[in-house]
Each structure stands twice: as structure tokens, then as C-alpha cells.
Amino acid sequence: MRVVLDTNILLSALMVRGTPPDRLYEEWRHGRFDLVTTERQIEELRQVVRRPLFQERLKASEIGRMVNDLRRLAVMRNDLPRVSRSPDPADDYLLALCEAAQADYLVTGDKSHLLALKSHFGTRIVSARALANKLRR
């Protein structure tokens, strides 16, 4: 199974242990599914964690470990098609990533933009709780 985790899910995994985003991150690290990412997402992650809210709550070592894990263990796709579908154009690269990787799931907490789409080119767009529950079965 191929999965794309939105950057908000990756950040949530770092911030609060035991939550569905954290469980998904750990399930990936234990080989339950293939995580697909792109350099653009890694750069977005590195930019967002520089904000004061994240600087106060996260250790640089945790962020570094995640970035290293993504680079070392995730399936990297940087050859993305052009996509213009999300109400938030900044999210279009995630849809393009799903398309390029033929991902089964895009996991996001973005209710008003991505979750509202429900699917994209065969990729189901779901919440972290929905996929975590599916993996538990």
C-alpha cells in the first residue's frame, strides 16, 4: 500500500504521541506501508518547523530524525505532473504526488480543502483516524 501523508500529519506525529498521526508514522517506520514523499514536501516541512510555535514545542533532533527517515526510507517522487484541483493551490503538489506515485491514500487533516475532495485519480483522501483504524484491522 502506498500512502502520502500531508505535512500537517507529519507535524502532528511529532507534536503529540499516541494520536492517529503518530500511530501512522510509527506504522510506516515499522514497514506496514510505503510512504511516498517529494523534496518539495521535505522543504515545506523544514520551513514550517522554523515557525515559533514549532520551535517551542519540538526538538531539533526530532525534526532532523524525521527528515532523515523521509530521505532514507520513503519512496521519493520528484517527477510530478501539473495539477490544479485543490481549493488551496499550495496543496496541488500533494495531489500531483498521489497521481505520480499511484498512491492508495492521501492522509490529511485539511477538512475544508483536501478531505472535501474525497479522492484524486484513484487515491482515496482520508483522515489519519480513518487510515489508522483500517490498519488496526
Looking up residue 132, the CATH number of its domain turns out to be: 3.40.50.1010
The answer to whether residue 137 scores a pLDDT higher than 90 is no
Q: How many domains does the chain have?
A: 1
For 78, list phi and psi in degrees, rounded to 5. -115, -5
- Record the pTM: 0.96
Render pLDDT for 30-83 as a digit per residue (tens, 0 to 9): 999 999 999 999 999 999 999 999 999 999 999 999 999 999 999 999 999 999
How are strands ordered across the β-sheet holding 34-37?
A: 75-76, 34-37, 2-5, 105-107, 123-126, 119-120
C-alpha cell read off for 115: 478531505
Distance CA 136, CA 117 (A): 25
Q: 114: domain range? A: 2-136
| Element (DSSP H or E) covering residue 120 | strand 119-120
Q: If pLDDT is split at 50, 70 and 90, which confidence band does 15 have?
A: very high
Per-residue pLDDT at 7: 98
Each residue of 73-98: b (16+ CB within 10 Å) or e? Answer: ebeebeebeebeebeeeebbbbbbbb
